Amino acid sequence: MRQRAVLEPSDDAWIHVRDGRRLAYRAAGPAGGFPVVYLHGAIGSPRWRTPQLDAVIARAGVRYVVVDRPGFGGSDPSPGRTVAAFARDVEDLADALGFGRFSVVGVSAGAPYAIACAWAHGARLVATAAVSAVAPPSGPGGSRSLRYRVPTLAFGSPRAGALLAAATLRALGVHGETATPAMVEDYLVCRRPWGFDPAAVRTPVMLWHGAADPLIPATHALRLAAAMPECAPSLERGAGHFFYSRALERIIAPLVPAAA
């Protein structure tokens, strides 16, 4: 049975999703604001709350909900999960919080999950934004580039994967704030079949990508965008992979309906 948590602004909270797992989330912004669900990258969301974000969501009238994927934060693991399966968790969260229609934004490894929500819940979503999106491993919009295959081999090794994840988290200054097994699994999930075809996404998706992204080339993002019939790509000139925080207002504003 799904449970609804009592939520104060920015407090940690959780629900039980349909299979009994615990799904953790946090929120900020006015309680009556328009809901925008944020889907984090592979390092989780240890430092998601910033004064800049608070200012943007206050101006936009947004209730900003940050949800931890399985294994991250207070969310229970879900062995064998797929990208598509997480769309059900998001649906359970939206139901528990009483959201009718809402928007989603996914960044980096979170972008495939945002696209999965557009595929699964298109009629319920007002808008979807995919930022610095990881490409699927095959099929329409997919890429089997060595850029992805080499890290996949490393992450697939229990010892090497843990070492690589720990080194990445240290380099980003968040070691000890994100569980390395969760990061490893999240990368591997994105490099397995997603459980849906991006070409089957029939609702609009705004795809934002840094033109100078050294981690995921813009050509890969444009290939993914071309696979989705209703996708509008936007390349940020001179931007790398981690530009979301510098473009918050431009990305979040279109996620809010005019009448909100």
Query: What pLDDT shows up at residue 128?
Result: 98
d(CA 90, CA 121): 10
pLDDT averaged over every residue in the chain? 87
CA distance 134 to 81: 17
Per-residue pLDDT, 9: 45
Cα gap 114→28, rounded to integer Å = 19
Tokens of residue 15, six digits: 């629900």
User: In this predicted structure, what is the pLDDT of residue 1?
Assistant: 35
208-237 pLDDT per residue, tens: 999 999 888 899 899 999 999 999 999 999
DSSP three-state, residue 69: coil
Q: What is the pLDDT of residues 94-130, one digit of tens each?
A: 999 999 999 999 999 999 999 999 999 999 999 999 9
pLDDT digits (tens, 9 = 90+) for 2-45: 443 333 445 689 999 999 999 999 999 999 999 999 999 987 87
Report whether 65 contacts 98 (CB < 8 A): no
Is residue 154 predicted with pLDDT exceeding 60?
no
Residue 89 pLDDT class (50, 70, 90 cuts): very high
pLDDT given for residue 170 in this prediction: 75
Are the C-beta atoms of 29 and 1 separated by less than 8 Å? no
Strands in 44-124 per DSSP E: 62-67, 102-107
pTM of the complete model: 0.88
Query: What is the C-alpha R_g of the chain?
Result: 17
